[in-house]
Each structure stands twice: as structure tokens, then as C-alpha cells.
């Protein structure tokens, strides 16, 4: 039985793709920018690229009469306010808390900024430990940041489960430190396949779900 | 509602990892080879490398008094007899057949050899179309091999679902031709993560499964 559950933030609890789109629509309006949303999302590359480069590129590509630094400052200040959770996250945390799991966060991200995103999600009350890579000078998949996480919750690796969406960073990383791992497959994966299964016992039920009502009627002779 | 379902063979219907291990144990015994099974599996690289190279490497590494060509010939002849299905495959195919789905196979593989593997699985009766890449001179993810598959079943792309375990080859490939796609996550993925989920609604049930009986008792205060 596990005693602690630690979570990644972006793409796991924080619906960053949705937050980003909502924020950028708002930013475009406020700065009267006519920029393709998809291009912004593409340049962002799932948060892999920091926004200074992204805005510099956008200003160049779209010949915007704007200062990239001003857009960056606007992003740093306002993006956290647009941060939103995936559906059912809060209810899940409540249930885990009720079962006495110790909960923690281990997130790669910029000091201050990532903390602001976390605070904006209004889930502080559930967590005993919140680690941001830039604050501690370690980044996932470094085993030492997972060691820090379980140390702060006062549990052994094998008593902890790590939940994340980046396979190499989160799953391989936490497994290397001896934690159990749960993989949240991201929306990219979900949207390319119409469904996913790991044993054939799951296949028919998932197919029926995809087919909807028609399974029981149309195919019957 | 879909009219046709097409399947990848190795890693999807055919439990190739298990077949390979069973075959190789037998081969080691017959040739009195003392070779680490894991090394063989590693060199095979999930079937990405054809066996001539694998056996040449093994003979060199283990200084075996054997001819790599003889081991290869043995593999080509006998491996297909060890081919076995994943659990529940046959029952699934029966149910799909009963619902009047047209079923097909699109498999990358060597002429003759891959056909022998397929025949050995004893599921011929379920399929109206069986395409082996080497026989038709096209390989997944080439859109034309998916076009051929649906043509043989006489359906439109959007009426067909493709089921496979290789994300780029099977899922991206079939999606590019306009088919629906179902992704069978392979055992490698399953074994590194303790479970997998795509929406938070699935999290607690899967966690309960992982925790087993203890969820309802031990954590209750």
C-alpha cells in the first residue's frame, strides 16, 4: 500500500494546452495582434521553449509593431491567472486526501512563474510538498529531485507513486529512483488514436464505446 | 459505424515476444548453445533486425562453434511453429465476425516467413484479406498499403479501423490514409509504468486496482 502520491504539474494536473490557448486569445485581443493560434502553440512546443524566443519569432514572422519583451512580460504576469485544471482533478485529490495519502508536487519550471501557476490552480490545501525545479537547482528526470520529494513527505521510494505525462522525464525518471509510476497519456496521443488498450479483454468494450449505440442494433442481422 | 477492422500482426495479435523466447529456449537446447536469452532478445530489437545479423553477432560474441547461416535456416523453418496469440484474441475475432465486420491483416514482414507465422496462428478463417509488406512491395507507414487493405475489403477509409501497437507505423500511418485507429500499447510501455490513464475519472479505479484489497481497509481510519 502506498503512503504518498506525487504529481507532475503541466500536462498532468494543469491543463496547460487549454490554459495557453485561452491566455493567447486574450493576449491577441489586448495587443490587437493577428497571429495564428496554431503557430503560437507550435512555437511553444508543449512548453519546451521559453517564451522570449517564441515572441521574438512571432514579432519577426508577423512583422508585429510590438516589443517581444513587452509580450513576454505580459505572459509572465498574466498567464498564471488563466491556469486551469483538467476535469475531475480536484475531486480526485479530495478522495486521496480522505484516504490519508500524503500528496506532493514535483514540477520542472521557472522560479516564481511556475509557483504562480500552481497558486492560481487553488489546490494548495491538498499538498504537503511543492517542488519547482528552478527553485532547488535540480530537474526531472534527475533522481535527486525525486529523492527530495519523498524526503519532504517522509516516505520510502517504494511507498510512493509518481504521476506524470512525460514518459522519459516522469515515468523513467521516477522508476529510476524506485518509485512506482502512473502514466497520464497526453492529449496528442489520445487524439491520434481513437482509443487505446493494453489487453484484448478491453478491446470489445472500447470498440462499443467508439461505435456508440449502433453496436447493438445496426450490425445485428 | 465501421464496416471493417484491419490488424497489425506482430505485437498486436501475435504475441511475438513470447513466441520468440519460447523458440529460442528450444533452439539453444537443440544446438547446445549457452547464450543469454536477454542478449538474444536485445539483439533482435523487437524484430527490427533480421536474424542473419543477430546470429552472426551471437556466434562472434559467444564464440559458438556454429554456422550463423544454419541457425538462421533453423529460425526460418521452426520459429513459425512457436507462434502464439495474445490472450483473448481468438474470442475477440469471433465476436467481431459475429457482428459482420470484415476483417483484414496488414503486416510488415518477410515473404513466406510472415505468411508461415500467420498460418501457424490458425486464425485464417476470420480474415478476408491478408497483406504482407514484402509480398506487395509496400511497407507501413506508406499510405498505399493501407489503401490496398481497404480496397481488398471493399470499404472506404472512414469505414475502417486499424489496430496496431507501433505508434508511428500503425497509428500515424493509418490516420494519414483516413482510417480510424486503435493503439495497443506494448508490454514495454506497460511494464515501466504501473498503470496508465488518460482522464482523471479513470485514476481512482486504476489506483484501487494497483493497491488491491488494502484500499478499502488499511487506509480507512
Are A46 and A137 members of one domain?
Answer: no
- The C-alpha cell at B139 is 511497407
With a cut of 90, say whether residue A210 has pLDDT above it: no
Of A50, A82, A114, the residue that ends a domain is: A82
Q: Output the nine-digit C-alpha cell for B85.
A: 496469440
Q: B87 Cβ partners below 8 Å, 6+ apart?
A: A199, A200, A201
Q: Which residues of A touch B180 (CB under 8 A)?
A: 194, 210
Question: Half-sphere exposure of residue B75, counting CA atoms within 13 Å on the CB side?
Answer: 22
**Same-domain status, B174 and B138:** yes
Position B51 in a domain: no
What pLDDT sits at residue A144?
A: 96
Same domain, A116 and A173: yes
- What pLDDT score was predicted for residue B158? 92
A176 and A140, same domain (yes or no)? yes
Tens-digit pLDDT profile for residues A5-64: 999 999 999 999 999 999 999 999 999 999 999 899 989 988 888 899 999 999 999 999
Residue B173 and residue B209 share a domain: no
The x, y and z cell numbers of residue B67, run together, are 554456422
Shared domain check, A101 and A8: yes
Which residue, A42, A57, A82, sits at the end of a domain? A82
B163 contacts in chain A (CB < 8 Å): 203
Question: B73 near B52, Cβ under 8 Å?
Answer: no
Q: How far is A98 from chain B (nearest CA, A)?
A: 9
Residue-wise pLDDT tens digits, A118-168:
999 999 999 999 999 999 999 999 999 999 999 999 999 999 999 998 888
Nearest CA in chain B to A2: B211
Q: Can you give the residue range of the structural domain that contains A210?
A: 187-217
Kindly determine whether residue B86 and residue A195, on different chains, have CB atoms separated by under 8 Å: no
According to the model, what pLDDT value does residue B219 have?
Answer: 46
B203 in the same domain as B133? no
User: Do A200 and A178 share a structural domain?
Assistant: no
Alpha-carbon span A103 to A118, nearest angstrom: 14
Nearest to B1 among A89, A91, A219 (CB): A219
Same domain, B172 and B208: no
Spatial distance between the Cα atoms of A41 and B8, rounded to a whole number of angstroms: 33
Distance CA B219, CA B206 (A): 16
- Predicted confidence at residue B187, as pLDDT, reads 52
The answer to whether the CB atoms of B88 and A200 lie below 8 A apart is yes
- In total, the C-beta contacts within 8 angstroms joining chain A to chain B are 136
| CA separation for the pair B8, A29 (Å, rounded) | 48
* Domain count for chain B: 2
Query: Cβ contacts (< 8 Å) between A195 and chain B: which residues?
Result: 182-183
Q: Does B218 score more than 50 pLDDT?
A: no
Q: Answer with the one of A58, A82, A106 that is the final residue of a domain.
A: A82
Model confidence at B108, pLDDT cuts 50, 70, 90, reads: very high
Residues of B in contact with A11 (CB under 8 A): none
Please indicate, yes or no, if residue B9 is contained in any of the structural domains.
yes
B154 lies in the same domain as B210: no
Residue of B nearest to A212 (CA): B1
Record: contact B192-A210, CB cut-off 8 A = no
Q: Looking at the structure, do residues B199 and B148 belong to the same domain, yes or no? A: no
Would you call A88 and B200 a contact, using CB atoms and an 8 Å cutoff?
A: yes
Chain B: give the shortest CA distance to residue A101, in Å: 8
Contact B126, B26 (CB under 8 A): no
Strand, helix or coil for residue B90: helix
Residues A26 and A94 placed together within one structural domain of the fold: no
Look at residue B29 and tell me if it is in a domain.
no
Residues of B in contact with A171 (CB under 8 A): 192-193
CATH of the domain at A174: 3.40.50.1000
Strand partners, A196: B183
Q: What is the pLDDT of residues B18-62, one digit of tens each?
A: 999 999 999 999 999 999 998 999 899 888 888 999 999 999 999
Of A87, A99, A167, the CB nearest to B200: A87
Instruction: Determine, yes or no, domain membership for B165.
Output: yes
Amino acid at each position: 500500500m502506498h503512503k504518498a502520491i506525487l504529481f507532475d504539474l503541466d500536462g498532468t494536473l494543469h491543463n496547460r494546452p487549454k490554459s495557453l490557448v485561452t491566455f493567447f486569445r486574450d493576449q491577441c485581443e489586448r495587443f490587437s495582434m493577428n497571429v495564428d493560434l496554431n503557430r503560437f502553440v507550435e512555437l511553444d512546443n508543449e512548453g519546451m521553449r521559453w517564451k522570449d524566443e517564441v515572441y521574438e519569432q512571432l514579432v519577426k514572422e508577423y512583422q508585429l509593431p510590438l516589443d517581444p519583451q513587452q509580450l513576454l512580460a505580459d505572459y509572465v504576469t498574466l498567464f498564471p491567472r488563466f491556469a486551469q485544471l483538467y476535469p475531475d482533478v480536484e475531486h480526485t485529490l479530495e478522495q486521496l486526501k480522505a484516504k490519508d495519502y500524503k500528496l506532493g508536487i514535483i514540477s520542472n519550471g521557472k522560479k516564481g512563474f511556475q509557483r504562480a501557476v500552481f497558486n492560481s490552480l487553488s489546490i494548495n490545501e491538498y499538498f504537503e510538498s511543492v517542488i519547482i525545479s528552478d527553485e532547488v537547482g535540480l530537474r526531472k528526470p534527475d533522481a535527486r529531485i525525486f529523492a527530495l520529494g519523498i524526503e519532504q513527505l517522509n516516505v520510502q521510494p517504494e511507498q510512493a507513486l509518481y504521476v506524470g505525462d512525460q514518459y522519459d522525464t516522469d515515468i523513467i525518471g521516477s522508476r529510476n529512483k524506485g518509485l512506482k509510476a502512473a502514466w497520464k497519456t497526453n492529449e496528442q496521443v489520445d487524439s491520434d488514436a481513437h482509443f487505446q488498450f493494453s489487453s484484448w479483454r478491453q478491446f470489445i468494450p472500447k470498440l462499443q464505446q467508439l461505435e456508440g449505440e449502433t453496436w447493438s442494433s445496426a450490425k445485428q442481422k
